[in-house]
Amino acid sequence: MRKKTHLLCIALMMLVMGARADEGMWLPYSINGQNLADMQRLGCKLTAEQIFSFNQPSLKDAIVQFGGGCTGELISPEGLLLTNHHCGLGQVQAHSSVEHDYLQDGFWARSKAEELPNEGLTVSFLAYIEDVTTAILKGVTNDMSEADRAAKISENGKKLTLERKGKRDVEVEIVPFYHGNQYILFEYDVYRDVRLVACPPWGIGKFGADTDNWTWPRHKGDFCIFRVYTAPDGSPAKYSKDNIPMKSKHYLPISLKGVQPGDYTMILGYPGSTDRYSASGAVKNVIELEGPAVVDCRTTKLEQYRKHMDADPAVFIQYASKQASVSNYWKYYIGQVKQLKRNKVYEKRLEQEQAFRQWAAQDKNRKAKYDGIFDEMDKYWDYQSQFTKALIYYREAGWRGGEAVAFAMKFRALNYALEQKAPQEKIDASIKSLKSAAKDFFKDYNKQLDRDVTIALLNLFYKNVDRNMQCGSLRKGDKTGGDFTAFVDNAFAKSIFVDADKLNTWFDRPKSLSKDPIFALMLDIVETYIELTNVANKVNCSRADRLYMEGLMEMQKDRNFYPDANFTMRLTYGSVQDCQPADAITYNYITTLDGVMAKYKPGNWEFDVPQDLIKLWENHDYGRYADKNGDLVVNFITTNDITGGNSGSPVIDAQGNLIGLAFDGNWEAMSGDIAFENEVQRTICMDMRYLLFIIDKMANAQNLMQELKIIQ
């Protein structure tokens, strides 16, 4: 009986361990023995070289940085590329019009000739990695000031980058890790001809929109398909009709097997930013100042967006991508602040710091090395607290608030050249570039909407920022009780930045913009922001942060430290699992098309669905994409560790097949970028069977189906 009880306890322990989220964003080129053992324990059947290798094709060769902010993966021998719908939304919107509303109706290229080019869109393949810490820190000494240290590191970095890049058409960047204790060089091949191939209708790709964002359960077909093109010789090239589809070095087969609890999952991608080793002061700053300020500004902006988008379908098309971008991190900060408080992250950081103090005090050498670092941190964050709110308002409500103000920023260099009477060829080159930017700007610009946004944000700015940190333009609110309606109306009536015809006339005979009211407002905001930033930067704690990171790794020698995310390729591993986020609440690990239809609201911009999808559901016409119960799985959740930038990352099974597409995290773990929550952190993924169902059964895009390698 005792033996049976012991075995039962072990089984229960394994079940609990399996339900915990798997923390860690690992550099795939340096997976160590512990990582491999953990991956194999969870079920991985691949070798390290099959995952990441410079000597043979591997999984990493199918993964790309997409568009500078997302991840994508190759899924065919001819450069077909899969990413999230919200990652490709800007390109879809740019090709849309009231006559050809690809946002609402979707887009399906029936041949390569119908695929749409996207100026400025790039994808980057990782080609080379090297630890260059020794070279970067050459000449750096412990007695240097932080300013001198930074200058020396910058000098070494620029020199090394130039040496490595040479005249080759590659991108080289050197990235700090562990708060500046390590430096790694990354080299990328950048491809500049990326064409839109397909996207689902809004009611699939954007289903749930703002209401469902950052939550589980989800019911979203969050995908978009592109194709990478190369020059005829296979090299990266700008768009040309002579370019050919990329010959993929490696691509991911798609599995129809589906998912079950406990199934191994691996994600490769480019997570953007985490701050999991920061001190308590940084957490407090987010909770009390940064988060609330961002939410207030974006709430105000979104209110104006929705008012105009709901009233006019043309405006909806113009602002769909912009609204989604603003909304995403609006809700993110709401959730992050709430969960940081709920999960007592600030208190846990204080406890960790106290443990560090005790550890450091136990050895005289450690005490001498680390003594005073928390005093530096406290001084820094006390000082920064004076500026955080104002600086965020200058960014969110100021130079990134109203669109015309943000657009005027692009003209700063040209205006300086005009006022300094620079050579005419320099002025002409700048005008040529800005004419192209102006064309793009006015295509998706609504003057009345921008007017309302600018008034609302300036009113909020004036109300919520200390007067001694306000620029001169804001102080004009003293005479109007903080109402900037007349000020903005006057500026919009006179400025060239809200009227394409006026701007084009100015291009013909350019002169100083100092008297343009929008340009003057922008310049006042930007110059004051720079002044405040310079004052805020007089105090820093980079030395303390670096030493604290070094000390943590020394104190916890048995801990397998992974670096914070910094938009470099990372591997995370975990498994499919359900979730119990709170007392008496259990979430299943999958959602189905039945759940989509349960949320369906005809005519609602968030929860409407295409009629073709409704018919397939009514007929239960799921074909081979149904699970063993006859249901069509839409989304599933895993214990993988991801963050922003992982959008579009592949979810890969134990054999290296594509089973899902990562697109979000869950509400209960919104503090995860600062503190990983092992019990509740989940990655929300689109099931590949839903992708194939949409392509095959709904869109009947057989040209795409024929390209894919599908594993039964």
pLDDT confidence tier of residue 4, bands split at 50, 70 and 90: very low
- Cis check for the bond before 217: say yes or no (omega within 30 of 0): yes
Residue pair 564/11 in contact (Cβ under 8 Å)? The answer is: no
- Name beta bridge partners: 70: 66
Q: Kindly list the distances between the CA atom of residue 292 and the CA atoms of 273, 275, 342, in Å, as whole numbers in the listed order.
A: 19, 18, 16
Torsion sign over Cα 14, 15, 18, 20: negative
Closest CA to 23 of 36, 10, 35, 37: 35
pLDDT confidence tier of residue 707, bands split at 50, 70 and 90: very high
Residue 451: other Cβ atoms inside 10 A: 19
pLDDT at 213 > cutoff 70: yes
Structure tokens at 29: 């080129």
Closest CA to 91 of 112, 70, 74: 70
Closest CA to 639 of 11, 14, 36, 17: 17
Kindly state the percentage of the chain with pLDDT values over 90: 94
Question: What are the residue ranges of helices labelled H in 372-423?
Answer: 373-384, 388-393, 403-409, 412-419
The active-site residue out of 58, 495, 647, 671 is 647
Does the annotation mark 219 as catalytic?
no
pLDDT confidence tier of residue 712, bands split at 50, 70 and 90: confident
Assessment of whether the complete model's pTM goes beyond 0.85: yes
Mind listing the pLDDT tens digit for each residue in 111-166? 999 999 999 999 999 999 999 999 999 999 999 999 999 999 999 999 999 999 99
Q: What is the pLDDT of residue 6?
A: 36
Q: Cα 449 vs. chain centroid, distance in angstroms?
A: 26
Does the annotation mark 222 as catalytic?
yes
Q: What is the pLDDT of residue 5?
A: 34
Q: What is the distance between the alpha carbons of residues 491 and 249, in angstroms, rounded to a whole number?
A: 54
pLDDT: is 5 or 148 the higher one? Answer: 148
The active-site residue out of 222, 444, 545, 653 is 222
pLDDT at 8 > cutoff 50: no
pLDDT: is 9 or 433 the higher one? Answer: 433
The residue type found at 475 is R
Q: What is the pLDDT of residue 13?
A: 32
pLDDT at 1 > cutoff 70: no
Q: Kindly list the distances between the CA atom of residue 471 and the CA atoms of 386, 462, 477, 559, 668, in Å, as whole numbers in the listed order.
A: 16, 10, 11, 48, 39
pLDDT at 375 > cutoff 50: yes
Q: What is the pLDDT of residue 20?
A: 61
Does the annotation mark 86 as catalytic?
yes
Length of the chain: 712
pLDDT confidence tier of residue 2, bands split at 50, 70 and 90: very low
Q: What is the pLDDT of residue 7?
A: 33
Mean pLDDT over each residue of the chain, to the nearest integer: 95
Q: What is the distance between the alpha carbons of residues 710 and 706, in angstroms, rounded to a whole number?
A: 10
Q: What is the distance between the alpha carbons of residues 514 and 519, in angstroms, rounded to a whole number?
A: 7
pLDDT confidence tier of residue 528, bands split at 50, 70 and 90: very high
Mind listing the pLDDT tens digit for each residue in 604-642? 999 999 999 999 999 999 999 999 999 999 999 999 999
CA-CA-CA-CA dihedral for 204, 209, 213, 215, to nearest 10: -60
Backbone angles phi, psi at 585, to 5 degrees: -120, 125
For the chain, residues classed under CATH 2.40.10.120 are 19-122+194-275+564-711
142: left (phi > 0), else alpha (psi -120 to 50), else beta? Answer: alpha
Q: What is the distance between the alpha carbons of residues 657 and 262, in angstroms, rounded to a whole number?
A: 16
Residue 357: other Cβ atoms inside 10 A: 14
Strand bridging mode 683-687 / 658-665: antiparallel
The residue type found at 680 is V
Structure tokens at 617: 């559901």
Mind listing the pLDDT tens digit for each residue in 558-602? 998 999 999 999 999 999 999 998 889 999 999 999 999 999 999
pLDDT at 17 > cutoff 80: no
- Average pLDDT of span 404-418: 97
Q: What is the distance between the alpha carbons of residues 335 and 103, in angstroms, rounded to a whole number?
A: 28
Q: What is the pLDDT of residue 144?
A: 93
Q: State which fold the 19-122+194-275+564-711 domain adopts.
A: Thrombin, subunit H (2.40.10)
pLDDT at 3 > cutoff 50: no
Give Cβ neighbours of residue 366 (< 8 Å, ≥ 6 apart): 359, 360, 551, 554
- Average pLDDT of span 542-548: 97
Name the 3-class secondary structure at 477: helix
- Average pLDDT of span 5-25: 49
Q: Kindly list the distances between the CA atom of residue 244 and the CA atoms of 88, 179, 233, 701, in Å, as whole numbers in the listed order.
A: 21, 42, 9, 21
DSSP state of 125: E
Mind listing the pLDDT tens digit for each residue in 94-116? 999 999 999 999 999 999 999 99
Torsion sign over Cα 337, 339, 341, 345: negative
Q: What is the pLDDT of residue 15?
A: 34
Q: Tokens 């007695």 correspond to what residue? A: 143
The active-site residue out of 85, 86, 179, 219 is 86
- Average pLDDT of span 497-526: 97
Q: Kindly list the distances between the CA atom of residue 442 and the CA atoms of 267, 498, 499, 513, 683, in Å, as whole numbers in the listed order.
A: 39, 8, 8, 19, 38
pLDDT confidence tier of residue 9, bands split at 50, 70 and 90: very low
DSSP state of 564: P
- Average pLDDT of span 255-275: 97
Q: What is the distance between the alpha carbons of residues 251 and 59, in angstroms, rounded to a whole number?
A: 8
The 3-state secondary structure of 460-472, one letter per residue: HHHHHCCHHHCCH
pLDDT confidence tier of residue 10, bands split at 50, 70 and 90: very low
Q: What is the distance between the alpha carbons of residues 136 and 156, in angstroms, rounded to a whole number?
A: 5
Give Cβ neighbours of residue 261 (< 8 Å, ≥ 6 apart): 575, 576, 577, 578, 589
- Average pLDDT of span 303-309: 97
